[in-house]
Amino acid sequence: MEFDRKDSAAYLANLLAKGASRALQARADGAGFAPGQFPVLLELWGGDGLTQRELLDRLDIEQATMANTLARMERDGLISRRRHPRDRRAQLVFLTARGKALRESAMAAASATEDALFQGFRRFERELLLEYMRMVLANLGRDVRP
């Protein structure tokens, strides 16, 4: 059987991830964050004061990618880092006032992106696709928290 990329879940998932990221960027243009920063912002909006290791574990990205993302976010005034009170090697990551203020516009951009992705879907189709995506991620050993 010959490999057909149009029938490959991995290939289609890759295209979907890229397309969704571009769509989010277009809707968030000028909002003050990059699509790669959005997952970090989501984690910190849920409760900041996390270590870089905690962010790495929650987001499952490479150490170098996280370090670059945090450096850019710090440069752009979205986060600040403080020494961990008990671990001299660690720093805690906190949102700045600017980072906190992005929440409403970022969430609006994310919601509009989701609506665009599911345009033409009926509610049960959307819910079913999301459930299938969670099942595939579970098969890959990924914890998809609610």
Q: For residue 2, what pLDDT is reported?
A: 83
- Give the H/E segment covering residue 51: strand 50-51
What is the b/e burial string over 40-54, where b = at least 16 CB atoms within 10 angstroms of the residue's CB?
A: bbebbeeebebbbee
Q: For residue 71, what pLDDT is reported?
A: 96
- Asked whether residue 146 is assigned to any structural domain, the reply reads no
- Asked whether residue 24 is assigned to any structural domain, the reply reads yes
- Asked whether residue 135 is assigned to any structural domain, the reply reads yes
- Asked whether residue 121 is assigned to any structural domain, the reply reads yes
- Asked whether residue 43 is assigned to any structural domain, the reply reads yes
- Asked whether residue 110 is assigned to any structural domain, the reply reads yes
Q: For residue 15, what pLDDT is reported?
A: 94
Domain extent at residue 29: 7-140
- Asked whether residue 1 is assigned to any structural domain, the reply reads no
> Residue 68 sits in a domain of what CATH number?
1.10.10.10
Number of structural domains (the chain) is 1
The series of mean pLDDT values per 10 residues for the chain, 146 residues long, is 85 93 88 88 94 90 93 96 87 96 93 95 96 92 67
For residue 9, give the nearest of 144, 135, 146 by alpha carbon: 135
- Asked whether residue 127 is assigned to any structural domain, the reply reads yes
102 φψ region: left (φ > 0), alpha (ψ -120 to 50), beta (else):
alpha
Write the DSSP assignment of 42-94 as a string of letters: HHHHT---EEHHHHHHHHT--HHHHHHHHHHHHHTTSEEEEE-SS-TT-EEEE
State the residue for tokens 């968030």: 28
